[in-house]
């Protein structure tokens, strides 16, 4: 009796909308994430579900009445994103989808971690003297680390000049009531972005060693969180970023990308941050191969699928500072993005965006260790044997989780060099100066490997008076463009490489010196780089109102020959990506790998089977080709940075 009574009331409440209802089935398809829809349709109407409700505009009286009845519990509200985290019976879901002010409903799914002497090989050491005060180190720039917490007592987070901690905020969003790092992931990530290099004569310095650190703990003691945890942290960040001068947010975490970035609540929150001027770096994921060692395509995780984020893959440096032997790590997730939205007729429309944009060292990196952490107890060999002092210990981890904070730290250096940069312009400079790795395609490396030296050099030259009124094609730099190449010295010599001289744009890429010599409208706030591309009948053209002359769009996704982005062999034509999933079908062989069929690794937002095994394998061991030289710590502080 109770079940029938409840269902009748739910149906009645849903009928009290403004009359714009076009039918429950259409709304059910359009407004529900696939995993949530499948769960509702599979039965179990009394099952309690945890969902994220996204709204358009204000809540109407009828919807408000429904939300206050039928066993619905509002667990969290995210005012900046007009969203709610709800706990409710499954039978209420379809009724909710019928309200016109309801934009989208998705599972409050689980979010998980995705997880060299990088200052040398990335070029960070070369830029230390490029600031006005002679020390480019991220001083004054805030980097938000959304992760499993940070062990604040570690020496890596001390300000070398004041002796105070550079962790200026500690906030827990997991409900565990702690902000330290029992899992062991966040401490390592934070040190990669902003470790100070006091230990072991500076061998394990982070990229921005004096940046302020904002510790936003969203993953629990087992390295697991919920979408609602992450949304709460991002909501806090929107409100407080200005107070702490947060210019960069790093998310070395993710969940399978079921929903298009147009509907994914995390992606929509990331877009708001980027529109406010905050650079967001995201790990691509560690699912680049299956248990047979075959390459897998289409496994970029959320929020890495968001076009406004800088999505980062992992490089295997082979344990050397010489970049000549660098390659994309086998575990690093490849594009294109396979998230989608469903129309009224049940047809899936795939995003098929070229990701990642960049790659950075992420195989067997050595950074700060949290004492007795979960990862270490699972594999004691992760301790790098650098020190016996808990506040100076280092551990070895692999994954795109380790690569993303290197880009985050670089963004902090670039903001220090030129605070006027927009996220889109910064992303473009990072890509334009990247090193193309030979024999890897754009779905694997994006524009190429991170080049901090080149990116910072360009950032310093960018005009500081650019704004939305700057005319298209105006000079971008204050002087002449530098020679597009970088030389990285190492112990026994040096290595010189040319820049990629191109950028990734949604379903294609662009090249040409005009990208750094002339102002492009896609560099403004509130604009995506891909907004400058027009698509018609599978043909790409540059929007003349967004791109100046001299910018060349690519017709193909290429395999690099190791020089520039517009040089190399054809991997697949961009027309495949524009086919909305009709040509680039599930399970179709894509060049040298397999495009993963939808649903193989997805289950209520939790990684299953091969996916979790490969992800944990990457985090714990990495590619076997690398042998990292370890430098013991003698207990004295190195003040060279």
What confidence score (pLDDT) does residue 39 get? 85
What confidence score (pLDDT) does residue 464 get? 97
Q: What is the pLDDT of residues 169-195, one digit of tens each?
A: 999 999 999 999 999 999 999 999 999
What confidence score (pLDDT) does residue 634 get? 62
Stretch 294-323: mean pLDDT, rounded? 91
Stretch 59-66: mean pLDDT, rounded? 91
Query: What band does 6 get if pLDDT is binned at 50, 70 and 90?
Result: very low
Q: What is the pLDDT of residues 30-46, one digit of tens each?
A: 899 888 888 888 876 67
Q: What is the pLDDT of residues 196-250, one digit of tens each?
A: 989 998 889 999 999 999 999 999 999 999 999 999 999 999 999 999 999 999 9
* Residue 84 near residue 19, CB atoms below 8 Å: no
Backbone angles phi, psi at 225, to 5 degrees: -135, -170
What confidence score (pLDDT) does residue 5 get? 27
Query: What band does 24 get if pLDDT is binned at 50, 70 and 90?
Result: very low
Residue 433 structure tokens: 């100066």
What confidence score (pLDDT) does residue 119 get? 60
Query: What band does 105 get if pLDDT is binned at 50, 70 and 90?
Result: very high
3-state secondary structure of 629: coil
Kindly state the percentage of the chain with pLDDT values over 90: 64
What confidence score (pLDDT) does residue 622 get? 73
Bridge partners of 170? 215
Is residue 155 over pLDDT 50? yes
| Polymer length in residues for the chain | 641
What confidence score (pLDDT) does residue 589 get? 46
Stretch 101-116: mean pLDDT, rounded? 80
In the block, tokens 């330290």 appear at: 180
Query: What band does 607 get if pLDDT is binned at 50, 70 and 90?
Result: very low
What confidence score (pLDDT) does residue 346 get? 83
Stretch 308-335: mean pLDDT, rounded? 91
The pairs formed by 487-492 with CB atoms below 8 angstroms and a separation of 24 or more are: 488/120, 488/121, 488/123, 488/126, 488/321, 488/322, 488/323, 488/453, 489/126, 490/120, 490/121, 490/320, 490/321, 490/322, 491/321
Which structural domains are found in the chain, ordered by start?
Answer: 2-108 (3.30.70.80), 112-620 (3.40.50.200)
What confidence score (pLDDT) does residue 322 get? 86
Among residues 208, 218, 210, which one has the least CA distance to residue 181? 218
DSSP 465: -
Q: What is the pLDDT of residues 417-440, one digit of tens each?
A: 999 999 999 999 999 999 999 999
Is residue 325 over pLDDT 60? yes
Lowest mean pLDDT among 172-181, 241-250, 285-294, 589-598: 589-598
What confidence score (pLDDT) does residue 180 get? 98
Which whole-number Å values give the CA distances from 404 to 253, 284, 542, 575, 580, in the listed order? Answer: 10, 8, 30, 30, 29
Is residue 598 over pLDDT 70? no
Stretch 470-491: mean pLDDT, rounded? 93
What confidence score (pLDDT) does residue 45 get? 67
What confidence score (pLDDT) does residue 121 get? 63
Q: How confident is the prediction for the chain on average, in pLDDT?
A: 86
| Positive or negative: CA dihedral 468, 470, 472, 474 | negative
**What are the strands, taking DSSP E only, across 274-393?**
279-283, 296-297, 310-316, 327-328, 340-342, 348-350, 358-361, 365-368
Q: What is the pLDDT of residues 536-549, one digit of tens each?
A: 777 889 999 999 99
Bridge partners of 288? none
Q: What is the pLDDT of residues 397-415, one digit of tens each?
A: 988 999 999 999 999 999 9
DSSP 370: -
Is residue 164 over pLDDT 50? yes
What confidence score (pLDDT) does residue 619 get? 67
What confidence score (pLDDT) does residue 319 get? 81
Packing angle, helices 423-432 and 400-417, rounded to 10: 110
Lowest mean pLDDT among 213-222, 387-396, 473-482, 578-587: 578-587
Is residue 559 over pLDDT 70? yes
Query: CA–CA separation, 475 vs 455, rounded Å?
Result: 18
- Pairing relationship of beta strands 358-361 and 310-316 according to DSSP bridges: parallel
Q: How many CA atoms lie within 13 A of 242 on its CB side?
A: 3
What confidence score (pLDDT) does residue 318 get? 84
Among residues 93, 1, 101, which one has the least CA distance to residue 47? 93
Backbone angles phi, psi at 351, to 5 degrees: -70, -45
Is residue 266 over pLDDT 90? yes
């Amino acid at each position: 009796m109770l079940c029938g009574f409840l269902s009748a009331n739910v149906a009645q409440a849903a009928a009290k909308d403004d009359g714009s209802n076009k039918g429950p089935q259409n709304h059910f398809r359009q407004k529900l994430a696939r995993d949530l829809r499948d769960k509702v349709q599979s039965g179990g109407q009394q099952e309690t579900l945890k969902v994220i409700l996204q709204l358009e505009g204000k809540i109407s009286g009828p919807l408000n009445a429904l939300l206050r009845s039928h066993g619905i519990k509002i667990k969290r509200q995210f005012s900046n994103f007009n969203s709610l985290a709800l706990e409710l019976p499954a039978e209420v879901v379809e009724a909710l989808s019928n309200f016109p002010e309801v934009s989208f409903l998705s599972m409050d799914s689980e979010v998980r971690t995705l997880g060299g002497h990088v200052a040398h090989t990335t070029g960070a050491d070369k830029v230390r003297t490029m600031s006005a005060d002679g020390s480019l180190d991220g001083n004054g720039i805030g980097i938000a680390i959304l992760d499993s917490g940070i062990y604040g007592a570690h020496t890596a987070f001390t300000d070398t000049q004041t002796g105070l901690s550079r962790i200026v905020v500690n906030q827990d969003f997991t409900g565990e009531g702690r902000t330290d790092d029992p899992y062991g992931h966040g401490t390592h990530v934070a040190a990669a972005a902003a470790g100070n290099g006091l230990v072991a004569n500076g061998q394990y310095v982070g990229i921005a060693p004096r940046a302020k650190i904002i510790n936003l703990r969203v993953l629990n003691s087992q390295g697991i969180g919920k979408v609602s945890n992450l949304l709460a942290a991002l909501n806090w960040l929107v409100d407080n970023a200005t107070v702490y001068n947060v210019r960069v947010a790093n998310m070395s975490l993710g969940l399978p990308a079921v929903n298009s970035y147009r509907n994914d609540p995390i992606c929509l929150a990331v877009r708001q941050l980027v529109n406010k001027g905050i650079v967001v770096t995201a790990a691509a994921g560690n699912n680049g191969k299956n248990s047979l060692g075959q390459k897998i395509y289409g496994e970029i995780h959320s929020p890495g699928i968001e076009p406004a984020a800088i999505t980062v893959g992992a490089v295997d440096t082979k344990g050397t500072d010489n970049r000549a032997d660098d390659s994309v790590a086998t575990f690093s997730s490849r594009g294109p993005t396979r998230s989608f939205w469903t129309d009224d007729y049940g047809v899936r429309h795939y995003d098929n965006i070229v990701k990642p944009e960049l790659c950075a060292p992420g195989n067997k990196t050595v950074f700060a260790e949290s004492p007795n952490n979960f990862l270490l107890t699972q594999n004691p060999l992760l301790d790098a044997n650098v020190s016996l002092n808990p506040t100076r210990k280092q551990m070895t981890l692999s994954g795109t989780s380790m690569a993303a904070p290197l880009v985050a730290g670089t963004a902090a250096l670039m903001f220090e060099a030129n605070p006027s940069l927009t996220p889109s312009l910064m992303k473009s400079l990072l890509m334009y100066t990247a090193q193309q790795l030979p024999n890897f395609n754009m779905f694997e490396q994006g524009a190429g490997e991170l080049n901090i030296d080149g990116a910072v050099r360009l950032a310093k030259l960018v005009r500081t008076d650019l704004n939305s009124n700057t005319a298209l094609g105006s000079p971008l730099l204050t002087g002449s463009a530098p020679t597009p190449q970088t030389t990285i010295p190492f112990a026994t010599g040096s290595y010189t490489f040319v820049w990629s001289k191109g950028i990734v744009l949604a379903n294609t890429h662009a090249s040409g010196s005009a990208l750094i010599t002339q102002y492009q409208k896609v560099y403004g706030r509130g604009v995506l780089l891909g907004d400058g591309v027009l698509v018609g009948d599978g043909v790409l053209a540059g929007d003349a109102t967004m791109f100046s002359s001299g910018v060349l769009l690519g017709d193909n996704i290429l395999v690099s020959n190791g020089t520039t982005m517009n040089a190399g062999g054809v991997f697949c034509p961009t027309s495949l990506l524009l086919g909305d999933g009709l040509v680039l079908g599930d399970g179709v062989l894509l060049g040298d790998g397999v495009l993963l069929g939808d649903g193989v690794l997805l289950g209520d937002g939790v990684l299953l089977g091969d996916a979790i095994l490969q992800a944990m394998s990457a985090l714990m061991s990495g590619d076997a080709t690398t042998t990292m030289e370890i430098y013991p710590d003698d207990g004295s502080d190195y003040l060279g940075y």
